Structure 1
Amino acid sequence: VLRLDGVRKSYNIGQPNEVEVLHGIDMRVEHADFAALVGPSGSGKSTLLNQIGLLDSPTAGELYLLGKPTREMDDEARTALRGRHIGFVFQFHHLIGAFSALENVLMPHMVAHGKPDREALDRARNLLADVGLEKFADRKPGELSGGQQQRVAIARALVTRPALLLADEPTGNLDTKTAADVFKLLRRFNAEFGCAVLLVTHDPRLAETCDRTITLVDGRIDSDQ
């Protein structure tokens, strides 16, 4: 699904305060992987996630998504590839308050394809049912609990059937039980849909329950096991 070959990322290039944050990252994520990305604050996790999510491009090296090199892509091509093949779940769900749960789930589809057809509507409703919220499809985010909102966010991330799901501290804002439920959902969809999951977390207990843990230290992969 994902391959990074010698990915480097620098900021303030050519300036006296130029700094390289990622120092030649080599990494692979296979179909149906369920991996944790961990590391201390300042290790470069956010920068690496921005590269993987095609929100930014490397200074050097190459990042391949489904075999396609992305470094030289323009913003339009990168956005289209990201919209089709990558799903995002964040610590804060970023739902749109004026829209219903169903409309929020449909948002990535509408951005990519315009007005949803019957198939897209059915897929969105089925995903809400999968996360236990079929009865809340017409409710606005403000009418849902934090855990329910995060489950809507997971359904939204999966509506395009992405090859890769990026989860950035997806349980960091939830209580222990709700966090466990959200983690089970990610596990379930990883198994059922075969989408690779890369989960960024500061919680070592959560990382231990993943199949693989990638540790980033000072912009380099310290271990991958």
Structure 2
Amino acid sequence: MVDDSSPVLQLDGLRKSYNLGKPTEIEVLHGIDLCLQRGDFACLIGQSGSGKSTLLNLLGLLDSPTAGELTLLGQPTAQMDDDRRTALRGRDIGFVFQFHHLIPAFSALENVLMPLMVRTGKPTAEHIAQARGLLEAVGLGQFTERKPDQLSGGQQQRVAVARALITRPALLLADEPTGNLDSRSAEEVFALFRRFNREFGCAVLLVTHDPRLAEQCDRQITLADGRIVEDVRR
């Protein structure tokens, strides 16, 4: 069992370069140190080209650093093989993107169940009840059988939030999750992150260009030219 007092995520000297060994080699991240604790509700902000997307890919174990270490729930990951990284990502990290990436042919319920179906195959009755409960929690209990094209943009994004939470991840990464939503829907989705952060204790890192949302986060981490230049707790 993981010690609840230990960090969810610890970065030590994380670096990322592209085109290694070539004349066009470029280092995008220059030694990132960062710690996220359980219950943290933080945002990552910075100009385009600051390295936010690169850092988020590393945090989500979608890419490997060139140097440094990323420790998730006490497990060093930099030298993990792909199978172990995939298993850790599927179990302990939830993702919400700007585009919801729902499967058009699947119902809302089936889309929420997808992470568990990928891991275990056919969902159990317990899994289905859990997915229904999450859809209820995001205000879509009456829409479980609707396909994505029968839902509004805000409703689709709420399905994506429920899908990200079905595994009860320790870390929730959200990449511009309200970027395609109107102001009201954006506030509703943000409120869901807040609610589940409190109820589940998952650490939340939200990448956003919306200053209104950034101001509502407990912690603002500013990235510039591949370095963290400010990390402010409120």
Are positions 1:25 and 2:25 aligned together? no
- Quick one: which of 64, 74, 91 aligns to 1:67? 74
Asked if 1:106 is matched to 2:91, the reply is: no
TM-aligned CA deviation for residue 119 of structure 1: 1.1
User: Residues 75-125 of structure 1: CA distance to partner in whole angstroms, max 9, x if unpaired?
Assistant: 111000000000000011000000000000000011112111111111000
* Displacement over 2 Å in runs of 4+: none
The two structures have a TM-score, normalised by structure 2, of 0.95
SS in 2 for 1:205: helix
Correspondence for 1:183: 190
The answer on 1:163 being equivalent to 2:162 is no
Provide the C-alpha distance between the structure 2 equivalents of 1:25 and 1:121, rounded to a whole number of angstroms: 40
Sequence identity of aligned pairs in percent?
74
1:30-109 residue pairs with structure 2 within 5 A?
30-109=37-116
Alignment partner of 1:119 is 2:126: yes
How far apart are residue 205 of structure 1 and its match?
1.6
Q: Residue 19 of structure 2: which of 6, 12, 36 is its match?
A: 12
- Look up the SS of the partner of 1:161 in the other structure: coil
Distance 1:207 1:67 in 2: 28
Q: CA RMSD in A?
A: 0.5
Distance 1:113 1:131 in 2: 24
Secondary structure of 2:34's counterpart equals strand
Separation (CA, whole Å) in 2 of partners of 1:198 and 1:61: 20
Separation in structure 1 between the aligned mates of residue 160 and residue 108 of structure 2, nearest angstrom: 9
Match of 1:132 in 2: 139
| 1:146 and 2:153 are equivalent in the alignment | yes
Q: SS at the partner of 1:152?
A: helix
Q: Deviations over 1:130-169 (max 9, x none)?
A: 0010110001000000000000000000000000000000
Which blocks of at least 5 consecutive residues in structure 2 are unaligned? 1-7
Provide the C-alpha distance between the structure 1 equivalents of 2:74 and 2:221, rounded to a whole number of angstroms. Answer: 21
Tell me the equivalent position of 2:3: none
Q: Does 1:174 align with 2:181?
A: yes
Q: Normalising by structure 1, what TM-score? A: 0.99
